[in-house]
Amino acid sequence: MEKDEEILFLVHQHADPDAIGSAYFLQKRWGGKIASPTGPSGTGKNLLNFLGVELNNEIEFSEFDRIVILDTPDPSQLEPFEPPKDKRSVIDHHRNSSWDEEIFFRDWTSCCEIVYDMEEPKELTKEEGIALIGGIFTDTSSLRRGTSETFKILSEIMEKSEVGLEEVRSILFDKRSYSEKIARLKGAQRSSHREVNGFIIVKTEIGAFEGSVSSYLLRGGADIAFSGSEDGNGFRISGRAKEEVLEKGIDIGRLFKSIQESDSKAFGGGHPGAGVITGEGSVGKYLDLCIEKIVDEIKEEGLGKSKD
């Protein structure tokens, strides 16, 4: 990137703290604008509100010299945006990214680690620290996973910005809206489950806050949870899995990617422990498909989990 370039930092639909945090950090260093085809996720919105940054939903690509796509494993997650290929660069960390061009620094735990490592800043403002820590904190499932490099970088960011984890956690999670609280309760009330080889797999249909509801179901006892919503534009399903399940080989992002590869109306991907799939059709049909595929994988691979 060059200082005299007009730069657009483009992030995926329903942008989470990792997407927003990495885009904010680069914007503060290089200028430019941040855009996403939709509004942010719940935690993404909390981070945006704290940072006071604008997330543009309407954009003219002709106004920019360079388009930097962040934390987005598949072009479908930018629809209806179609960034011109001759202007774009991709910085992503997902194992299952499907861009045609080179992807920089694939396979890190979070995009925020990548941009911090790229810039090697000697100093950080408090806001930059909160943005970067927020992305790392959420993409490591509240520090339940990550590499030694992840925690080295996190320590450096905390020291340079003088920001603590509790402050970041409170910004991201302590301000749940009434609507999100109701969605969590309704999601649990409407849920159904299957038990296979000791794994408890839960699904539910709700109206919004799919990721929050799935995480809530994990805390309620599920090993794997799928929460889906449906509107006139199609369906959206969020999947979550506990760390002990991931150790058995389950990968939610890989599951959603496999559905995309066999169904032209579905677009999905993500991390082993968290992913999203969207598309056209009935959310009930795709929730059932997610359950079916997970159950088949558990049985075929002979995976098992002891009952406590």
Residues 198 and 159 in one domain: no
pLDDT of residue 145: 81
pLDDT of residue 47: 93
Among 77, 158, 153, which Cα is nearest to 115's? 153
Of 173, 197, 215, the residue that ends a domain is 173
What is the domain range of residue 246? Answer: 180-300
Position of tokens 């009434």? 178
- 294 bridge partner residues: none
Asked, for residue 2, whether it belongs to a domain, the answer is: no
pLDDT of residue 194: 95
Q: Cα–Cα distance between 18 and 203 in angstroms, integer?
A: 26
Q: Cα–Cα distance between 96 and 74 in angstroms, integer?
A: 8
Residue 41 near residue 180 (C-beta atoms within 8 A): no
Query: How confident is the model over 73-105, as pLDDT tens digits?
Result: 888 889 899 999 889 999 988 877 777 767 766
Residues 146 and 196 in one domain: no
- Residue ranges for the chain with pLDDT beneath 50: none
Residue type, 118: M
Of 118, 140, 173, the residue that ends a domain is 173
Asked, for residue 305, whether it belongs to a domain, the answer is: no
Of 119, 140, 173, the residue that ends a domain is 173
Average pLDDT, the chain: 90
Residues 129 and 199 in one domain: no
CATH of the domain at 294: 3.10.310.40
pLDDT of residue 2: 67
Residue 292 CB contacts under 8 Å (≥ 6 apart), including other chains = none
